[in-house]
Amino acid sequence: MTVSSVISRCIIVLLTFSINYFPLLPVGCQRAMTTRYTGYLVVEPAPLFLMGSNLTVYCHTHKCDWRAKIYMVLNGKPVDKWERINCTTVKFYLPSIWIPLSAAICSNYMHSVVNGVDLRAGLPPDKPDTITCETAKSSSLINCSWTRGQETYLPTLYNISVNRENGSQIRLFQIQDADKITIPRSMFDENTTYLIIITASNHFGTSQSDPVVLRVKDIVIPDAPIIMQIQFPSNSVAATLQWKSNESSVYLRPHVMLRTNNTSWEMRAGVELGKNLIRVDNLTHLTEYEFQMKICNTAPVPTHTNASSISARKALLCSKWSPSVRKKSPGKGPSQQLQVWRKVERQGTDGQRNVTVLWKPLPREDFSGKVIEYDIFLDNGQKLKTCAAECIQCSVQLPAEVSSLSISAVTTYGKSPPADVILRQSGVPGSLLIKFSPAADGSAVFVSWSWTTGNYPSTQEEELRYYVIERTIVSGEGLWWQKLAKDLNSTSITGRLTTEPLGNLAVHIRTAKILPTSQLWTNDVVIAIYFYVQSTLMGTSSV
Ligand SMILES: *[C@@H]1O[C@H](CO)[C@@H](O)[C@H](O)[C@H]1NC(C)=O
Ligand SMILES: *[C@@H]1O[C@H](CO)[C@@H](O)[C@H](O)[C@H]1NC(C)=O
Ligand SMILES: *[C@@H]1O[C@H](CO)[C@@H](O)[C@H](O)[C@H]1NC(C)=O
Ligand SMILES: *[C@@H]1O[C@H](CO)[C@@H](O)[C@H](O)[C@H]1NC(C)=O
Ligand SMILES: *[C@@H]1O[C@H](CO)[C@@H](O)[C@H](O)[C@H]1NC(C)=O
Ligand SMILES: *[C@@H]1O[C@H](CO)[C@@H](O)[C@H](O)[C@H]1NC(C)=O
Ligand SMILES: *[C@@H]1O[C@H](CO)[C@@H](O)[C@H](O)[C@H]1NC(C)=O
Ligand SMILES: *[C@@H]1O[C@H](CO)[C@@H](O)[C@H](O)[C@H]1NC(C)=O
Ligand SMILES: *[C@@H]1O[C@H](CO)[C@@H](O)[C@H](O)[C@H]1NC(C)=O
Ligand SMILES: *[C@@H]1O[C@H](CO)[C@@H](O)[C@H](O)[C@H]1NC(C)=O
Ligand SMILES: *[C@@H]1O[C@H](CO)[C@@H](O)[C@H](O)[C@H]1NC(C)=O
Ligand SMILES: *[C@@H]1O[C@H](CO)[C@@H](O)[C@H](O)[C@H]1NC(C)=O
């Protein structure tokens, strides 16, 4: 053990004692006893022992006193197995010590310390394994690393022997408690095969690695690539990285890592799109990303004359990471169409119709940024009207011949796909049977409907697409509406029915098929279930 390791050992022990035990003891340093202590300790087999050993510690006092009780504390706990030998000596048994560093303190009945000792457990080194070496193209050094195996808890020395193929040693390097070493490249001939053997040794033993074969030209890592360009394909949460490299091997595979806000790096399995182009998925919109790339040579590890020998070449020889490139991902434009409905008023004397287009706001998670406005277009693509971002409906004056409109939400990062607003009605007669059943507590109404046989549109163009249920507020403001999937035939609407006839509903009741006419809404009234087909509105069954 070197002088410095003894010193460091003393420091460790002093710290341990000063934290855990009082008084502070210069134990374990095994220096000359100071007069402060009234005795000394002897450890068998030794204060430095194989982990898990049973120890015997003798506490000797300078004074002979049969009555004086002597006890021992190990790591703060009293030792209960002991034997009095004579008037100066007590023998303590410390079984199976697995703690790397322990403190045993012997005290007398006055609670004054007789003496203390630090006990140090360790293990012999494991065989150094997975020895790999690498160097860069223009580097003058070779870096080798190995795995040390189980912790030894003791200073362990590694001898790295560089040998000729016939086994004669060329150079020996030494390093303590390390799992890597840097050796000068100049001592190697680039094409010659060498054998590396690593021997680990400490107080408890020696362990030698298998020899590994080293040939410098096999362990040169590729040069780092450079990221040339990063692009975010429109409206996606992916990035494509264009990169370049000096390397020409067909075995090169790119790897990408990224991070945001200087957080920890995250490796990403990219999708190779072609030569020097890779796509990284699952990114987040409007986030500043930092990317780095490396390339790894996946060429098979060269075999040597002796087939059983292990090569010091890594299975994957990877370049260093490229310099960082930062780029912020764009915001997301809406991907969904608006859900639309419309209210068409009877044609005026001037040949114009007043059409109110209604829509539901886009789900917030469908786009980033905010809605700027809604644009209504004619069939021919001409913009008809711009409606404010807060609106959920907008009225336009139209000549009777205009049969369809479209509407898009305009957001900070793009427009929603246009949603068609169909104005025409289908020629197919409506014969929807509607049934209302108030809930027992009167707080809701269950509405169900069905087609009467033969009325379902037969031509393919007249395919049923969905239902719209509409409800006007009797007080006059607004129109409540909801789109329902075509495979539904019932829904529940909260609201209360009343028996009071409401004059302003008379016109609607006219075409009702089944309706308990005595029951009408007090506040809200279901006025119609429209059924909506491919291109035209197919009649209404108004209630
Ligand atoms: C330690 O002592 C116990 C009995 O107290 C015994 O079973 C065990 O084998 C001993 N261990 C060693 C390493 O001697
Ligand atoms: C007590 O026993 C120890 C160990 O057996 C011995 O070294 C020591 O001399 C003895 N002391 C006396 C006073 O007998
Ligand atoms: C070798 O190790 C040194 C020091 O740790 C490091 O600077 C260098 O980049 C390494 N070289 C290779 C090729 O890994
Ligand atoms: C390690 O190398 C040193 C210096 O040559 C030598 O004294 C020692 O015996 C070697 N250790 C082993 C385990 O080979
Ligand atoms: C190994 O080869 C070197 C040079 O080729 C030679 O000097 C040395 O004597 C050889 N050692 C053995 C053990 O054959
Ligand atoms: C190593 O071998 C290659 C061919 O395999 C040869 O071109 C090169 O000159 C050799 N280098 C040395 C230093 O012998
Ligand atoms: C390619 O090699 C040249 C010279 O060796 C070097 O200056 C350049 O940086 C390298 N480029 C890349 C992408 O590694
Ligand atoms: C990154 O930082 C920005 C502001 O500096 C913060 O709004 C954002 O939430 C952070 N993102 C992460 C992933 O920490
Ligand atoms: C990340 O760290 C770099 C350098 O340490 C600094 O220039 C940059 O501003 C940091 N970025 C963020 C988002 O914190
Ligand atoms: C993207 O993330 C989803 C869920 O977060 C995950 O299921 C999927 O496998 C990820 N795709 C990629 C390419 O990482
Ligand atoms: C068209 O209808 C809307 C909503 O019913 C109404 O606010 C607007 O005044 C009407 N416009 C005309 C010109 O009738
Ligand atoms: C609604 O559909 C279900 C099956 O999907 C059917 O059993 C039920 O009779 C239908 N109700 C009406 C009123 O058509």
Tell me the average pLDDT across 202-230: 93
What pLDDT shows up at residue 332?
87
Tell me the two tokens of residue 433.
């049977």
Other beta carbons within 10 Å of 444 = 16
pLDDT at 229 over 70: yes
Q: Which CATH superfamily is domain 339-422 in?
A: Immunoglobulins (2.60.40.10)
Closest residue by CA, ligand 8 atom 3: 261
Q: How confident is the model at residue 482 (pLDDT cuts 50, 70, 90)?
A: confident
In the chain, % of residues over pLDDT 90: 44
Measure the N-to-C terminal CA separation of the chain; round to a whole number of Å. 100
Closest residue by CA, ligand 11 atom 3: 395
> Considering every ligand atom, which ligand is closest to the CA of 350?
11
What pLDDT shows up at residue 465?
66
pLDDT at 434 over 70: no
DSSP line for 182-202: EEEGGGS-TT--EEEEEEEEE
Query: Which is more confident, 460 or 405?
Result: 405
Q: Which pTM was predicted?
A: 0.64
> Considering every ligand atom, which ligand is closest to the CA of 245?
7
257 three-state secondary structure: strand
- Range with the lowest mean pLDDT among 65-79, 156-170, 528-542? 528-542
Tell me the average pLDDT across 284-297: 92
Residue 127 sits at the vertex; the CA angle it makes with 124 and 129, to the nearest 5 degrees, is: 145
Rg (CA), the chain: 43
pLDDT at 254 over 90: yes
- Range with the lowest mean pLDDT among 193-207, 460-474, 515-529? 515-529
Ligand 6 binding pocket (C-beta < 6 A) is: 189-191
Q: What is the 3-state secondary structure (H, E, C) of 400-449?
A: CCCCEEEEEEEECCEECCCEEEECCECCCCCCEEEEEEECCCCCEEEEEE
The per-residue pLDDT for range 409-419, each reduced to its tens digit, is 999 988 999 99
C-alpha 348 to ligand 8 mean position (Å): 57
Query: Which is more confident, 148 or 498?
Result: 148
Please state the atom number of ligand 8 nearest to the C-alpha of residue 260: 13
Q: Residue 11: what are its φ and ψ, rounded to 5°?
A: -65, -45
What pLDDT shows up at residue 457?
46
Tell me the average pLDDT across 63-69: 83
Rounded CA-CA distance 296/303 in Å is: 19
Query: Which is more confident, 478 or 344?
Result: 344
Q: How confident is the model at residue 209 (pLDDT cuts 50, 70, 90)?
A: very high
What pLDDT shows up at residue 53?
93
User: 137: which DSSP letter?
Assistant: T
What pLDDT shows up at residue 295?
93
E strand or H helix that includes residue 472: strand 464-473
Q: Which CATH superfamily is domain 432-542 in?
A: Immunoglobulins (2.60.40.10)
Q: Evaluate: CB of 169 within 6 angstroms of ligand 5.
A: no
Tell me the two tokens of residue 49.
């022992």
* Best residue for ligand 5 mutational test, from 163, 164, 170, 194 (most atoms within 8 Å of Cβ): 164
In the chain, % of residues over pLDDT 70: 75
The per-residue pLDDT for range 485-520, each reduced to its tens digit, is 777 888 887 655 543 333 222 222 222 222 232 333
Query: Which is more confident, 179 or 301?
Result: 179
Q: Which CATH class is domain 129-218?
A: mainly beta
pLDDT at 365 over 60: yes
> Considering every ligand atom, which ligand is closest to the CA of 192?
6
The amino acid at residue 213 is: V
What pLDDT shows up at residue 433?
62
pLDDT at 373 over 70: yes
pLDDT at 244 over 50: yes
Rounded CA-CA distance 229/378 in Å is: 41
Please state the atom number of ligand 11 nearest to the C-alpha of residue 393: 4
C-alpha 334 to ligand 8 mean position (Å): 23
What pLDDT shows up at residue 17?
36
Rounded CA-CA distance 520/526 in Å is: 9
- Range with the lowest mean pLDDT among 36-40, 46-50, 60-64? 36-40
Rounded CA-CA distance 47/101 in Å is: 10
Rounded CA-CA distance 447/427 in Å is: 25
Mean pLDDT of the chain: 78
Q: How confident is the model at residue 452 (pLDDT cuts 50, 70, 90)?
A: low
Boundaries of every domain in the chain: 3-122, 129-218, 222-328, 339-422, 432-542
User: 18: which DSSP letter?
Assistant: H
Tell me the average pLDDT across 185-202: 93
Distances (CA, A) of 311 to 191, 303, 345, 523: 14, 8, 85, 85
C-alpha 456 to ligand 11 mean position (Å): 34
Rounded CA-CA distance 511/113 in Å is: 106
Tell me the average pLDDT across 519-542: 39
Q: Which CATH superfamily is domain 3-122 in?
A: Immunoglobulins (2.60.40.10)
Q: Evaluate: CB of 245 within 6 angstroms of ligand 7.
A: yes
What pLDDT shows up at residue 500?
37
Query: Which is more confident, 419 or 429?
Result: 419
pLDDT at 542 over 70: no
What pLDDT shows up at residue 325?
95
Answer yes or no: same fold for 222-328 and 339-422: yes
Other beta carbons within 10 Å of 514 = 14
Q: How confident is the model at residue 443 (pLDDT cuts 50, 70, 90)?
A: low
pLDDT at 539 over 50: no
List residues bridging with 485 in a β-sheet.
466
Tell me the average pLDDT across 32-49: 78
The residue with tokens 């410390």 is 94
Closest residue by CA, ligand 10 atom 3: 282
pLDDT at 178 over 70: yes
Q: Evaluate: CB of 172 within 6 angstroms of ligand 4.
A: yes
Give the residue from 316, 319, 321, 320 showing the smallest Cα distance to 259.
321
pLDDT at 88 over 50: yes
Rounded CA-CA distance 389/372 in Å is: 5
- Range with the lowest mean pLDDT among 15-19, 299-303, 488-492? 15-19
Q: Which CATH architecture has domain 222-328?
A: Sandwich (2.60)
